[in-house]
Structure formats: C-alpha cells, structure tokens
Amino acid sequence: MKILHTADWHLGQNFFERDRLEEQSAFLDFLLKQIETRSIDLLIIAGDIFDTANPPRAAEQLYFDFITRLHALQHCEAVIIGGNHDSAPHLDAPRTVLSHLNIHVIGGMPDQTSDAILRFERNGKRLCIAAIPFLRDRDVRRAIEGESFDAMEARTKAGIIQTYQNIAQQIQTSRQDDEVLLATGHLTAVGGRLSDSERSVHIGNLGSISAEQFPPIFDYIALGHLHHPQAVGACEHIRYSGSPIPLSFSESSEKEIRLLTIHDDHSLTHQAIDIPLARRLLRLSGSADTVRQAIEELSTPSHELTPWIEVTLTEGDVSPLINDQIRAAAAANDAVVLKVGRKLNNSQISALPDQTTKAISEWEPLAVFEKRIESYQGDLSPEALKQCFNHILHAVQEDDAQ
C-alpha cells in the first residue's frame, strides 16, 4: 500500500496583493501525476487546505477540480483534515457527498471520537488512521473564569494529549492483525522550525506538545502547520511534510511530499519526493548597484514562472529614483520586485522611533501589539499583556474560522 502525505496548500493566499493560484495549480498537477504514475492508494492532506476561512471562489474551484480529477483515477482515496486557517464547517459541508467519491473529510473534531477513526485495506495491507484535525481550545478544554494563563496552558496541552491518548486507546482495543497505525495532526510540535508565514496556533506555546507526548502506538504521524519539511526532534516517524510552495521570502525553495509504503511484511517506510519549483521567491541585499547587478545576472528556466524578489538596501536611501531603477532592472530581466526596503542599524532605528521599513499590512497582529507596548508604563508586565492580547486574537481567529 502506498500513501502520500502533504499539507498546508493555503489555496487562495494573497502575497503582496498577488495570488498564488498559478503556482498552486502547477503543484496539484504534479501531485496528481505522482499519484497516477506511482499507483498511490491514499492521499493524506494534513490541514490548511485554504489560506482563509472564506477563500476566494477561484481557490475553491481549484480544490474541487483536484478532487474531481483524483476520483477519476479510480485507485486513490483521500483523507483531508482541517487546519487552523480552514473553516471546519466550510470543509465539512460537502463531506457526505465527497464520501461517495472516497474522499474522507474531517474538518473539525467530531463529537464522537470514533468518527475520526478510518480504516483502509488494499492488497492484503491494513491501515488505520486517527484523522485528528486542528484542535481548537473549545475542543480540548472549557473556559474557567479567572483562570491563570499558566493553568490555561497546562489544561490546553493536557487536553490535546488526552485527545490523542483517547483515540489511541480506542484503536488499540479494536486493532486488527498486522494493522499499520497512522495519526494526523495540525499543531506546533515543540522544537519545530518556523518561518515568517506561520500563524501562531495557540497562545505562545499553548497547545505545543513534544514528540514523546504523542502515543507510541502510531507507526507514523502526519503533521501540518509548519511550512518547512522536517521531523519532530529525533523522531523520524513524526513529520511535517511542509507547504508545497514557499509561502514567504523566509522559506526555503526545497519542498517535498512524503511517500509512505506498507510492505508485505507489514512494515512501514517513508521517503521524500521533491516538488519541482514553480516560482522562486528571492531575497537580495546590498547596495543599489550590487542588487541591480544580481538582478541582471538572474536566469529563469523556461519551465519556471516569473521570480518575485524582496530587496533590502544596506546603504543609501530608498529614493523614488533608486526604487524605480531596481524595479525597471527586474522587469527587463523577466522578474518582479515586490518590495524594496532599507536595513537600518541600531542608531538609525533609535533615531526613527515612529517609523518602520515595513508597511503596516506586512506586520502580524502580535508584532504590532509588541511594538505598541514598548512605551507602556503601566503596572502589568509586558508578557502578561502579550498573553492577554494573544488570547483575544486567538478567540477572534477561531470565531472567523467558524
């Protein structure tokens, strides 16, 4: 039996007011080709199918077009779980219809844990999946008035761990002979490497669990949320597949999906399949002349889309003339500069307390709040204020997802 693990498609993402649908469509064509040529039996998508709770219509069309093409192959089923960017009700709405196409959707944690246990059999190989989606606070704990943040953090983590333990116990009691066990998840595992494009899942480290806190009965745990492909700690069987395309300039262009194989002796192995790069996101820094020279030396293969570039000048000012020259050099070389900024040293930052090289639209909400409380002179500690703000922000994001 062959299984593919992918996650974090973020269909509908806007990047500096540009959509990513062309790149995402190229990835889905590649994924479908892998499923067809490798005779894949099951596809696992570990959350964040969409970038927002209310994705644009073109993103939804891309999603359903892929599902239609997948079903047409007639040999591959799919398990799709919700992520923190997804709306659980939005994903779950067509669940009954999609189940007839062998597409199994778990947008939010079911009221009955047993509904998240899925079983598959192919060529004498048996597979059981604990299809656990992103666990929202309301899924794992009840709010207690006046509860401290330490207590909230402890109970949230305990609730997530307990959810995995409960479903593991149910699976263990009904486990069939030679059955391989998998689990999914969409969360931050302790020690995971983050990029600029991940939204905090819980308050600070709230909800972050370590590798040893997952039940040991699972042969593989397919995670989503972190966009760098990686194992969790030293546990090679607990893995993030990463996003299929770079979602920020801070991300590496090395992307992958994971191929899992259940062999005749019922053992499981897994390996990476590299995803071809559809578009490069480049960071260039230096003087204006150095940056222009680097742009002029760019070479874009015919199969790649136009590169997008972030420029950081290390000397001189970002004048309208220099800005225009850099963008013109890029346009002449079939590239697009999305941002031109200036790197400031500490003395320059101190001299410009009310200014920033970033537009406000580029800041995450927490970063804006942290900037605001730098001048706070009240009785509460900055850390307590950040925790309060994060709690409110997380509640708003959950409401939006619903």
Model confidence pLDDT, tens digit, residues 361-381:
556 677 777 777 776 666 667
Checking if the pLDDT of 79 tops 90, the result is: yes
Query: Could you give the strand order of the β-sheet that contains 230-232, starting from the edge strand earlier in sequence?
Result: 117-122, 125-130, 179-186, 220-224, 235-240, 230-232
Kindly report, residue by residue over 316-361, the tens digit of the pLDDT.
Answer: 778 889 999 999 999 999 999 999 998 755 444 444 444 445 555 5
Regarding predicted confidence, which is higher, 199 or 33?
A: 33
* Alpha-carbon span 312 to 288, nearest angstrom: 9
Where do the structural domains in the chain lie, given as residue ranges?
A: 2-274, 281-401
Checking if the pLDDT of 206 tops 80, the result is: no
* Alpha-carbon span 317 to 34, nearest angstrom: 48
User: How is residue 293 written in tokens?
Assistant: 């020279």
Q: In whole numbers, what is the pLDDT of the chain averaged over residues?
A: 87
* Alpha-carbon span 241 to 27, nearest angstrom: 14
User: How is domain 281-401 classified at the CATH fold level?
Assistant: Double Stranded RNA Binding Domain (3.30.160)
* Alpha-carbon span 81 to 276, nearest angstrom: 25
Cβ–Cβ under 8 Å, residues 46 and 5: yes
* Alpha-carbon span 188 to 184, nearest angstrom: 13
| CA terminus-to-terminus distance, the chain | 36
DSSP 8-class letter at 277: P
Give helix then strand counts, H and E, for the chain: 11, 17
* Alpha-carbon span 366 to 170, nearest angstrom: 39
Q: Give the pLDDT confidence score for residue 351 in this predicted structure.
A: 43
Checking if the pLDDT of 193 tops 90, the result is: no
Q: Given pLDDT bands bounded at 50, 70 and 90, which one contains residue 194?
A: low
Q: Give the pLDDT confidence score for residue 3 in this predicted structure.
A: 98
On whether the 2-274 domain is CATH 3.60.21.10, my answer is: yes
Note the pTM of the prediction, 2 decimals: 0.85
Q: Given the DSSP bridges, would you call strands 42-46 and 18-19 parallel, antiparallel or unpaired?
A: unpaired
Q: What is the CA radius of gyration of the chain?
A: 23
Q: Give the pLDDT confidence score for residue 352 in this predicted structure.
A: 42
| Mean pLDDT, residues 205-232 | 89
DSSP 8-class letter at 85: S
Q: Give the pLDDT confidence score for residue 67 in this predicted structure.
A: 97
Checking if the pLDDT of 143 tops 70, the result is: no
Percent over 90 (pLDDT), the chain? 65
Regarding predicted confidence, which is higher, 368 or 254?
A: 254
User: How is residue 134 written in tokens?
Assistant: 């992103």
Q: Given pLDDT bands bounded at 50, 70 and 90, which one contains residue 69?
A: very high
Contact partners, residue 147, CB within 8 Å, separation at least 6: 155
Kindly report, residue by residue over 285-299, the tens digit of the pLDDT.
Answer: 999 999 999 999 999
Kindly report, residue by residue over 99-140, the tens digit of the pLDDT.
Answer: 999 999 999 999 999 999 999 999 899 999 999 999 987 777
Q: Give the pLDDT confidence score for residue 349 in this predicted structure.
A: 41
Checking if the pLDDT of 199 tops 70, the result is: no
* Alpha-carbon span 23 to 245, nearest angstrom: 7
Q: Give the pLDDT confidence score for residue 283 in this predicted structure.
A: 94
- Cα angle value 224/230/231 (rounded, 5°): 95
Q: Given pLDDT bands bounded at 50, 70 and 90, which one contains residue 196?
A: low
Q: Give the pLDDT confidence score for residue 355 in this predicted structure.
A: 45
Backbone angles phi, psi at 375, to 5 degrees: -100, 10
Q: Give the pLDDT confidence score for residue 203 in this predicted structure.
A: 42
If one counts every other C-beta atom within 10 angstroms of the C-beta of residue 282, the result is: 19
